[in-house]
Copies of this chain bind each other. A is one copy, B any other.
């Protein structure tokens, strides 16, 4: 009975728990102990590039617990003067286009150049399903172990607006922690591209050769937003088709009006798995930054984005306050009924509700 059981399953020797997991466990314990940590101390740690402090601060910002709000605001305020010194790159493309492997290769390329890279995500599905496109960090095996990279799964929230706010504030913290390249990933469907576009400097659209726009589920508006279209998986048998797609997209882009950035959107091919064309993409980003810094578009765009977020937040809140008043809730129902019965018009009903 004391004899060790023989198992049919082969157990390999020497597979220890990965370093990452160990590190994380230790950090988690530390975090628990430091749970009453002063927000100002957290700011100092963030400025000293302490990743644990950064993660804890982001958690506070993402928290739905109202008692974390004050600490979150203190941290943000402390980080703000040290933020903004980065290039923010939005990356989109349909599932299957190879976003994760692209970010893995691109991110490692950048850290080799001495950059520090933070990867965030906006996931429209996360507000509903609590899923997260970056939840599975294992898809970026190398980058996750890279000391100069920081990967944060997408925030969850009740609305895309809420998720966006949290992501936007997370950018500030990452920048204060010395990350000078911020990558924001999203899935190429729905409203989330507009959201990402409104918080990045450079917008990169990943595409596949061969599949039509309809099949790729990409809306025309997204092509208009792109500063660079990269045809990914341009390797092996795919290379020829990718080059053809490049020609087609280049021609298509000519039909769009010139951008106010004075930057002509580019089209290129790359292969994340074979690490080809990645350096070229980075040099295009650098070109963009140079041109738009010279013509002051870079800073102008950031200011416009800030204004957009200010107005957007106000709008959302105004609506929220208005429609959550019990009197309005009740009368809205009545008015809708009156409209249905042809007793009033939508406009008269709106006037009535606003006058309440």
Residues of A within 8 A of B (CB): 73, 76-77, 80-81, 83-84, 165, 168-169, 172, 213-215, 219-221, 252, 255, 303, 306-310, 313-315, 317-319, 321-322, 332, 335-336, 339-340, 342-351, 353-354
**Given A215-B255, A314-B322, A318-B318, do A309 and B80 touch, yes or no (CB 8 Å)?**
no
How many copies of this kind of chain does the complex include?
A: 2
Minimum distance in angstroms from A68 CB to a CB of chain B: 15
- A344 in contact with B80 (CB, 8 Å): yes
**Given A76-B345, A214-B255, do A350 and B314 touch, yes or no (CB 8 Å)?**
yes
Q: Enumerate chain B residues within 8 angstroms of A215, measured Cβ to Cβ.
A: 255
Q: Which residue of chain B lies nearest to A252 when distances are taken between CB atoms in the complex?
A: B214
Q: Enumerate chain B residues within 8 angstroms of A313, measured Cβ to Cβ.
A: 346-347, 350-351
Q: Which residue of chain B lies nearest to A82 when distances are taken between CB atoms in the complex?
A: B342
A52 to B307, CA, bound (A): 48
- A354 in contact with B310 (CB, 8 Å): no
Say which residue of B76, B213, B214, B342 sits within 8 Å of A80 (CB atoms): B342
- B354 in contact with A314 (CB, 8 Å): yes
Minimum distance in angstroms from A20 CB to a CB of chain B: 32
Q: Which residue of chain B lies nearest to A76 when distances are taken between CB atoms in the complex?
A: B345
A345 to B322, CA, bound (A): 24
**Among A80, A81, A215, A317, residue most surrounded by chain B Cβ atoms (within 10 Å):** A80
- New contact pairs (20) apart from A77-B344, A215-B255, A309-B347, CB-CB < 8 Å: A73-B348, A77-B348, A80-B342, A80-B345, A83-B342, A168-B347, A220-B220, A303-B339, A306-B346, A307-B336, A307-B346, A309-B346, A310-B335, A310-B336, A310-B350, A314-B322, A314-B350, A315-B319, A317-B351, A318-B318
A336 to B219, CA, bound (A): 32
Minimum distance in angstroms from A330 CB to a CB of chain B: 15
Q: Enumerate chain B residues within 8 angstroms of A76, measured Cβ to Cβ.
A: 345, 348
